[in-house]
């Protein structure tokens, strides 16, 4: 790795290579191989636009040549904030060809989050849409750039669509440059050649953590480990060249991108179709038209999809597997979803940090409906421990600790946090409370980390609390998650104010002005005279939650 965050030991790396988990191939080289193997097959569909594997390969070369022309090269970080569109995939592989490193931002992120990512990653460029969901990303980028100041490394803003009035923003089309003939005519021997000297053990991408302690942390993933993540999931889901995967959730989300998602499908020679929004109407039309075989959802989408399917006006006959993950799927929905859509349901309990658990396609219904699956790799080490770090027997709830061939050993540039987020022997403390069954399946029963999981979107309480305190009327604040039928969990802000408390809408507006993503705004604001404290003087969030039940 070119960066210095903790990584696997030599002995572990050798073991993962010997087991065949790590194959020593970069993503740039993988696309080259896929193009020589599946050249004429359709790899990517976005609306009426289609790319074969050969097209995708050539397009990655063009994007790489254009980016190189901008001075972007091996090891450079580039924040990619794109909605679900083919360009995400084109940019991603263009960067891989260069050995540059995409940072997966979410479309909903705003000034605070993007500025933070740019700074933390020392990004040299950002790739954004012109507008998306009634929001102008160019304006956002002009603010981010202004904030970076003269010392900032951010040199380029690349806009998919119209760069608008910003003369120095680069339109994506200008970044697609025909490479020199020598570079574009490749032989089979080139298939193994590493992009610009990139090594498969190098950093391939940076994912965002849901975060518990303020702003998101960056999760380093290597070519070796991330490809294994996607391939292990693809094998369990039996993906092949006939697979047509519909990307419904945000494409940069680890679940959608690599579990097995976009990468798993492309590594199997299948077809990826991007859905511009997650509504069942949009998705079902695409499923009918493209004969989609598999997709992934978060739990809040499930009732809407079942509702729309019950109209009987769609032909979902091609759809075979629907994955649901990111938050706990209510058992009742798990039981109804399969029959409602005529599919096999797969529960997915994953994390951008690594460990992915899947129910298997041939698991008995009871396991599929009541557990969140089991690890995808035989070399995933899972410990369930009590508050003192001692393993508990199967069936007893405890914190999930994990390490393995695709689970990080340290966050990117987060030395201090890394000291507490991992055990001395390299286990990642997930903060999730689980029960393990004798079959190895895990049941997620809660969380010890201070994070709200609103239908799969993770809200770090501390980050929102800090911003609430910038409101002139608020003197103390605590954000808690409370059970909610639709979202699984919704967020309630308890605030202490000298005078009248601001309403929910005013608070949302304030947080928006502070540059916070909209999904982090509290669903409800409750005024309290003071925040209850625990014996050691921490805000007692359990007591606050109980206030709501009275």
At closest approach, how far in Å is the CB of 147 from ligand J2J? 26
The CA-atom distances, in angstroms, between 258 and each of 331, 406, 485, 548 are: 25, 12, 29, 39
At closest approach, how far in Å is the CB of 444 from ligand J2J? 4
447 lies in the site for ligand J2J, by CB under 6 A: yes
Distance, CA of 27 to CA of 22 (rounded, Å)? 12
Tell me whether residue 78 or residue 249 sits nearer to ligand J2J (CB atom).
Answer: 249
211 lies in the site for ligand J2J, by CB under 6 A: no
351 lies in the site for ligand J2J, by CB under 6 A: yes
Phi and psi based region of residue 305 (left: phi greater than 0; alpha: psi -120 to 50; beta: remaining): alpha
Tokens 């980028």 sit at which residue? Answer: 141
What is the x/- site pattern for ligand J2J, positions 181-210, by CB under 6 A? -----------------------------x
Tell me whether residue 73 or residue 338 sits nearer to ligand J2J (CB atom).
Answer: 338
- Out of 225, 432, 450, 489, the residue judged to bind ligand J2J by CB under 6 A: 432
Which one of the spans 8-16, 107-115, 322-330, 420-428 is the region binding ligand J2J (CB under 6 A)? 322-330
At closest approach, how far in Å is the CB of 303 from ligand J2J? 16
- Out of 246, 348, 478, 501, the residue judged to bind ligand J2J by CB under 6 A: 348
Pairing of strands 488-497, 474-484: antiparallel
For 212, the token pair is 């518990």
Distance, CA of 428 to CA of 380 (rounded, Å)? 12
356 lies in the site for ligand J2J, by CB under 6 A: yes
Which one of the spans 103-111, 252-260, 522-530, 535-543 is the region binding ligand J2J (CB under 6 A)? 252-260
Tell me whether residue 180 or residue 366 sits nearer to ligand J2J (CB atom).
Answer: 366
259 lies in the site for ligand J2J, by CB under 6 A: yes
At closest approach, how far in Å is the CB of 474 from ligand J2J? 28
Burial class of residue 479, CB neighbours in 10 A (0-12, 13-18, 19+): buried
Which one of the spans 81-89, 118-126, 343-351, 513-521 is the region binding ligand J2J (CB under 6 A)? 343-351
418 lies in the site for ligand J2J, by CB under 6 A: no
- Out of 430, 465, 491, 515, the residue judged to bind ligand J2J by CB under 6 A: 430
Pairing of strands 428-436, 49-52: unpaired
Residue with nearest beta carbon to ligand J2J: 350
Q: Which residues contact residue 366 at a Cβ distance below 8 angstroms, ignoring those fewer than 6 apart?
A: none
Q: Which residues pair with 80 in a beta bridge?
A: 104, 127
Cβ count near 282 (within 10 Å): 14
At closest approach, how far in Å is the CB of 232 from ligand J2J? 12
Pairing of strands 125-129, 131-132: unpaired
Distance, CA of 87 to CA of 85 (rounded, Å)? 5
Site for ligand J2J in 493-512 (CB under 6 A): none
- Out of 126, 327, 461, 531, the residue judged to bind ligand J2J by CB under 6 A: 327
Which one of the spans 163-171, 309-317, 452-460, 492-500 is the region binding ligand J2J (CB under 6 A)? 452-460
Of the candidates 357, 517, 522, 546, which has an alpha carbon nearest to the alpha carbon of residue 437? 357
Tell me whether residue 328 or residue 510 sits nearer to ligand J2J (CB atom).
Answer: 328
* Integer-rounded Cα radius of gyration of the chain: 23
Distance, CA of 78 to CA of 80 (rounded, Å)? 6
Contact predicate 494/528, CB 8 Å: yes
Distance, CA of 1 to CA of 412 (rounded, Å)? 12
At closest approach, how far in Å is the CB of 198 from ligand J2J? 24
> Which residues sit at the interface with ligand J2J, rule CB under 6 A?
210, 254-255, 259, 325-328, 347-352, 356, 372, 430, 432, 444, 447, 453, 456, 458
């Amino acid at each position: 790795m070119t960066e210095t965050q903790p990584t696997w030991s030599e002995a572990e790396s050798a073991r993962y290579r010997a087991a065949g988990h790590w194959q020593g191939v970069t993503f740039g080289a993988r696309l080259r191989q896929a193009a020589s193997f599946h050249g004429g097959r359709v790899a990517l569909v976005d609306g009426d636009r289609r790319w074969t594997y050969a097209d995708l390969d050539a397009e990655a070369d063009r994007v790489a040549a254009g980016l190189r022309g901008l001075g972007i090269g091996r090891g450079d970080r580039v924040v990619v904030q794109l909605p679900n569109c083919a360009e995400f995939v084109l940019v991603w592989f263009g960067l891989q060809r260069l050995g540059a490193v995409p940072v997966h931002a979410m479309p909903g992120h705003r000034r605070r989050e993007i500025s933070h990512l740019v700074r933390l990653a020392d990004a040299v460029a950002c790739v954004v849409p012109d507008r998306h969901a009634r929001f102008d990303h160019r304006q956002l980028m002009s603010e981010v750039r202004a904030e970076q100041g003269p010392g900032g490394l951010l040199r380029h803003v690349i806009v998919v669509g119209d760069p608008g009035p910003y003369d120095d923003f680069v339109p994506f089309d200008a970044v697609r440059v025909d490479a020199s003939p020598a570079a574009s005519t490749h032989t089979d021997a080139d298939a193994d050649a590493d992009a610009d000297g990139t090594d498969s053990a190098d950093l391939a991408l940076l994912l965002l953590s849901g975060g518990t302690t303020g702003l998101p942390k960056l999760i380093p993933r290597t070519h070796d480990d991330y490809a294994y993540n996607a391939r292990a999931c693809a094998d369990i889901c039996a993906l092949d060249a006939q697979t047509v995967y519909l990307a419904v959730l945000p494409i940069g989300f680890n679940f959608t991108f690599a579990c097995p998602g976009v990468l798993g499908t492309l590594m199997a020679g299948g077809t990826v179709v991007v859905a511009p929004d997650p509504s069942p109407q949009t998705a079902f039309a695409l499923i009918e038209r493209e004969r989609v075989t598999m997709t992934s959802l978060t739990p809040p989408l499930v009732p809407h999809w079942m509702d729309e399917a019950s109209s009987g006006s769609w032909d979902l006959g091609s759809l075979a597997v629907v994955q649901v993950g990111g938050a706990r799927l209510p058992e009742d929905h798990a039981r109804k979803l399969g029959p409602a859509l005529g599919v096999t349901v797969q529960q997915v309990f994953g994390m951008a940090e690594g460990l992915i658990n899947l129910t298997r396609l041939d698991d008995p219904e009871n396991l599929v409906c009541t557990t969140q699956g089991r690890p995808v790799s035989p070399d995933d080490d899972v410990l369930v421990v009590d508050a003192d770090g001692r393993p508990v027997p199967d069936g007893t709830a405890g914190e999930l600790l994990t390490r393995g061939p695709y689970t990080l050993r340290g966050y990117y540039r987060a030395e201090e946090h890394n000291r507490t987020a991992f055990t001395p022997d390299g286990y990642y403390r997930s903060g999730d409370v689980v029960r393990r069954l004798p079959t190895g399946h895990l049941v997620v029963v809660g969380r010890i980390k201070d994070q709200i999981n609103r239908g799969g979107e993770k809200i770090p309480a501390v980050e929102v609390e800090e911003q609430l305190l910038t409101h002139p009327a608020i003197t103390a604040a605590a954000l808690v998650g409370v059970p909610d039928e639709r979202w699984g969990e919704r967020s309630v802000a308890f605030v202490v104010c000298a005078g009248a408390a601001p309403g929910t809408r005013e608070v949302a507006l304030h947080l928006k002005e502070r540059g916070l993503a909209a999904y982090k705004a509290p669903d409800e604001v409750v005024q309290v005279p003071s925040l209850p404290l625990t014996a050691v003087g921490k805000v007692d969030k359990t007591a606050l939650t109980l206030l709501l039940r009275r």
